[in-house]
Amino acid sequence: METSFAVLQLSGCSGCEVSLLNAEEWIGKRRLAYMPLLLSSEDYDHVDTLLVSGAVYTDEDLYRLRRAASRADSVIAVGTCAISGGVANLGYRDDVRERFFAAAERRHVPRILPRLRPVDEVVPVSRYLPGCPPTPDLFMAVLFSDHEFVPKKTVCLDCGRKKTRDRPDTLVPLGTGPVLPDICLINQGYVCIGSSTRGGCGAPCTRAGHPCVGCRGPSDGFIARSSQEWFAAMKKVFGRLTHIDPDVIDATLRSPQLSLFVFQFADYAHVPRDPAKVL
């Protein structure tokens, strides 16, 4: 019997939906009952699985999530926004809010809720699929409950770049220097946090020479640990592989370049999540 699934988009960017559409393995095996990116009608029958992308940021998001979850056997929170708020959640950082409200021009936006909420604060979640967006392979693994798919523990293991005895003294700003193939990006002076980030993506960014920014969130070893512990662990990696001033590393890890993922996933422990449910 063909199983069905629906995709609910809340406040997000549709990147997760595009990644899902880039995968073809589900076609003919799973029936897509609903996806706002493709279908305008919200009238659909009960489904086996509901994939939820985006954060609960408006009263409309809250209503649609509760309504859709009541029609599904299981709910899967998909992507950074659904799990920890994404770009919108940066508005809860004081420095970002100061910049926002200092702008002279304002436009009409939907009424926002008093506080942004991840999906699992509103409805029970069966699985979590982190990523921004998750890769097509990850979508297929979670849709088909593929137990043979065993993701690597960290992006560093997915990447496979070799560590060397070279110890850079300074950081190389992204896009300003050459990137050597096959050599660890940290050994080349780039800020890459793949050693602490959940694997399974296949490391397309680091393999192409772009440092990991942590979009898959913390590896199992860090899910239940505090932000201070996660930052300390990341800085320890840079201490082993570079001679760069620890204060410089700390400031860079807390910079806008990494704020989208690092700040949100470093606070994973605020909402305890079972690592067994996170793909």
279 C-beta neighbours (distance < 10 Å), count: 21
Report the SS3 class of residue 23: coil
Half-sphere CA count of 175, side-chain side, radius 13 A: 1
For 123-170, the pLDDT digits (tens) are 888 989 998 889 989 988 888 887 788 888 999 999 989 988 889 888
Q: How many residues would you count in the chain?
A: 279
Element (H, E) at 74: strand 72-78
If you average pLDDT over residues 241-253, what whole number do you get?
A: 88
Mean pLDDT, the chain, whole residue set? 82
The helices-and-strands tally (H runs, E runs) of the chain is: 12, 7
Cα 159 to its chain centre, rounded Å, is: 18
Residue 209 near residue 134 (C-beta atoms within 8 A) = no
Half-sphere CA count of 247, side-chain side, radius 13 A: 0
Supply the pLDDT for residue 110. Answer: 46
Q: What are the residues whose beta carbons fall under 8 Å from the beta carbon of 154, sequence distance 6 or more?
A: 194, 195, 196, 197, 198, 199, 219
Confidence class for position 53, pLDDT limits 50, 70, 90? very high
> What domains are there in the chain, each with its CATH number?
3-149 (3.40.50.700), 155-270 (no CATH)
pTM over 0.75: no
Percent of the residues in the chain that have a pLDDT greater than 90, as a whole number: 18
Element (H, E) at 94: helix 94-102
Residue 29 confidence (pLDDT) above 70: yes
Pairing assessment for the beta strands 72-78 and 127-129 based on DSSP bridges: parallel
Q: In this structure, what are the phi and psi dihedrals at residue 278, rounded to the nearest 5 degrees?
A: -100, 120
Say what angle helices 227-241 and 246-253 make with each other, to 10 degrees: 130
For 107-123, the pLDDT digits (tens) are 544 456 677 778 888 88
Q: Which residue has the higher pLDDT, 255 or 136?
A: 136
278 C-beta neighbours (distance < 10 Å), count: 22
